[in-house]
Amino acid sequence: MTSNQSLYLYFCAGLVAFTCVAYELLLGSYATFLMGASIFQYSLVISLMMLNMGIGAFVTKRLEKNCFQAFLLVEILLSWCAISAVPLMYLSFALNFAPSKVLIFFVSLLGLGIGMEIPLLSHMNPSPKSLSQILFSDYLGGFLGGLAFPILLFPWLGFFQIGALLGLINALIALSFLILFRQPLKRSLTLWYFLIGTTLVFCLTEVLFAETIRIAMEGYLFGIDKRL
């Protein structure tokens, strides 16, 4: 592995940790917005996320030989979860269809994926020095994500747009990863470019038109216009 690839892995570890903490805060705050009981909602999100992160980390021991492909697939799936979670939670709330179950579903999926990210990155460069640097980037990214959500994301963006933006970050991670690690993935490059490109289009569309989507949903369900 080249020095540039190693540096990218450290940077990538920080970014995925940033999105991890932001996902927790996004789902906890939106669940509180919809259903109240803030302490319960945040406790549920954090506890369930940690449980599934542990399960995801455990599963990765079976994916060591295919860690490059597995990491790409995880980033793509996280992107789709990110752009779907808030709209589907809102829809289930509006239709009185157990939004708490939708919350649990997405927290579990996101937790599984997030729990796989750092172990997969570690498998790509298994030296002890690399592991310590990856963990440092992971903790630093989590710290920045925890600050960015209340200071930058939440005050300026709606819930729909925050989810889409986080999904876009995961999709961009996948794209940059594919470009930098083409060699281990050369047999299926076209497929990966197609999957990532499609994901990027949907994420970018929701980032740009999040408010339009929200207003359309509210207009259809309630006939009101209220920023979420």
Cα gap 209→188, rounded to integer Å: 32
Angstrom CA distances, 187 to 69, 137, 166, 190, 191, stand at 11, 31, 29, 8, 9
Q: How far apart are CA 193 and CA 183, in angstroms?
A: 14
Closest to 106 measured CA to CA, from 85, 123, 126 = 85
- CA–CA separation, 201 and 224 (whole Å): 28
Rg (CA), the chain: 18
Q: What is the DSSP letter of 150?
A: I
**Of 96, 86, 74, 65, which Cα lies nearest the Cα of 22?**
86
pLDDT digits (tens, 9 = 90+) for 94-120: 888 888 899 999 999 999 999 999 999
| More reliable by pLDDT, 45 or 2 | 45
Mean pLDDT of the chain, nearest integer: 89
Tell me how far apart the alpha carbons of residues 69 and 195 are, in angstroms, rounded to a whole number: 12
Q: Is residue 71 pLDDT above 50, yes or no?
A: yes
- Tokens coding 124: 């790509």
The residue ranges of every structural domain in the chain are 3-221
Q: In terms of CATH architecture, what is 3-221?
A: Up-down Bundle (1.20)
Total residues belonging to the chain: 228
Average pLDDT over residues 39-62: 92
133-164 confidence digits (pLDDT tens): 999 999 999 999 999 999 999 999 989 999 99
pLDDT in tens, 194-226: 999 999 999 999 999 988 888 887 777 776 555
| pTM of structure | 0.90
Residue 54 has pLDDT above 50, yes or no: yes
